[in-house]
């Protein structure tokens, strides 16, 4: 009797394991089918021949919970599981935004993953260049002071003072003038005059010393 009970328990456990395996296989198959539907839907939603923009109608379903996605601020958002996605290039498979190493672009709708190659950041669909500025990835046209001329690839210029900019990579300085942004060149006379005007140096017995 005891052996029969043990055998029955073993069979029940095996049956449960088989059901779990079958359920997992069905779930994976459903996810693959959903991803294929996403690809087909995104391909059919391209408007005006512009591959960077799609219509907000008939969006694909969430690959995690099968609920309908909404296009919000360039992201495909699921209001059921609160996950956000962007289409991967070139196959349009949906990628969670929290898995993107450097975020998503701002030039496409829906947005696409940003990628980096040879120290250059760009959109994986349009190849538009981006740059990291004060902890945020921006389009070059969004940079307040543009990029430097001392590096390759060029880097965003950052304000050091009201009229002085600098490149964070080379530390070269630039001047913000009425004629535009110009590289700042130093001479001994200009350096002394600037130090005196700033109060960081003073004359002493025909020469000058720098204050500590």
The encoded tokens of residue 204 equal 């002493």
The pLDDT tens digits of the residues spanning 157-206 come to 999 888 899 999 999 999 988 888 888 876 555 556 666 666 666 666 65
Q: Where are the domains of the chain?
A: 146-212
Q: What is the band of 7 on the pLDDT scale with cuts at 50, 70, 90?
A: very low
Q: Which residue has the higher pLDDT, 121 or 13?
A: 121
The encoded tokens of residue 99 equal 């898995």
Four-residue CA torsion sign, 112, 116, 174, 171: positive
Confirm whether pTM is higher than 0.85.
no
């Amino acid at each position: 009797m005891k052996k029969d009970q043990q055998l029955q328990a073993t069979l029940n456990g095996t049956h449960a394991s088989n059901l779990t395996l079958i359920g997992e296989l069905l779930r994976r198959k459903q996810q693959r089918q959903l991803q294929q539907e996403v690809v087909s839907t995104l391909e059919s939603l391209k408007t005006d021949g512009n591959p960077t923009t799609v219509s907000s109608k008939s969006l694909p379903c969430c690959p995690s919970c099968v609920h309908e996605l909404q296009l919000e601020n360039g992201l495909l958002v699921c209001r059921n599981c609160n996950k956000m996605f962007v289409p991967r290039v070139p196959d349009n498979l949906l990628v969670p935004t929290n898995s993107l190493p450097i975020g998503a672009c701002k030039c496409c709708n829906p947005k696409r993953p940003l990628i980096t190659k040879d120290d250059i950041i760009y959109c994986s669909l349009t190849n538009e260049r981006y740059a990291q500025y004060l902890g945020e990835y921006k389009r070059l046209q969004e940079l307040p002071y543009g990029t430097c001329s001392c590096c390759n690839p060029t880097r965003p210029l950052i304000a050091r003072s009201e009229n002085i900019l600098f490149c964070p990579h080379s530390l070269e300085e630039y001047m913000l003038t009425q004629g535009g942004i110009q590289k700042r060149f130093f001479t001994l006379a200009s350096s002394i005059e600037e130090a005196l005007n700033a109060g960081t140096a003073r004359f002493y017995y025909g020469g000058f010393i720098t204050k500590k």
